[in-house]
Every structure is written in C-alpha cells, then in structure tokens.
Amino acid sequence: MWDSFPVNPGHVLVIPRRHLADYFALTQEEKEAIWHLVDAVGERINQDFRPQGFNIGINVGAAAGQTIFHVHMHVIPRYTGDVADPRGGVRWVIRARAPYWKDIE
C-alpha cells in the first residue's frame, strides 16, 4: 500500500492482514511473509523509482512513534540529496544521539 503521507516518492507500507499492534506478537510465519513482501516491494520500487538506498522500519509502541496501532513496515526509498547528510539513518529518531561518528572522528 502506498503511504498516504510519503517521506519520499515510492514510500510503501507492508501491512499484515491480522490486526495486531505489536510486531513482536506476530507469528514466525507472519514475520517471514512480511519480509518476503518487503523483498518484492523493494524490487518493484527499484524498477519504478531507481532509488540509491532504502530505510526499512517498524514503529512498535507509542514511545517509538507508532500512531497507527496495526503492525506495518515502512519501505522508504532514499535518493542522493534528499537530505543534506544522511549519515546515521534511523539513528535520527533520537536526535541528540544520531551523530555517533562525531565521538569516533
């Protein structure tokens, strides 16, 4: 399903049929099915949008930013230049801890 509020062109949600809020409550078979669909979606996004990378993720619980309480996985294509400095990727969800490389440079 296309995301209604896409982060980038080609942003897709992979949503299991069974209604559960928590990814960790899914069966192993459901998790495998989701990842199989992520692979298929990624191939299609690559064909249609030609991104240079991807972020793939699930928000589990309100503290993690979950606002739709039905499990869904974001497949977000990334494009060179879509942000000034993409280093750290998903680490930016906790802004102060994102630039970890500054501690090792």
Residue type, 41: V
Strand partners, 53: 78
Q: Give me the catalytic one of 19, 36, 72, 74.
A: 72
Choose among 23, 14, 11, 31: nearest CA to 61: 23
Q: Is 74 a catalytic residue?
A: no
Residue 39 tokens, joined? 């692979």
Any idea which residues carry the catalytic annotation? 72
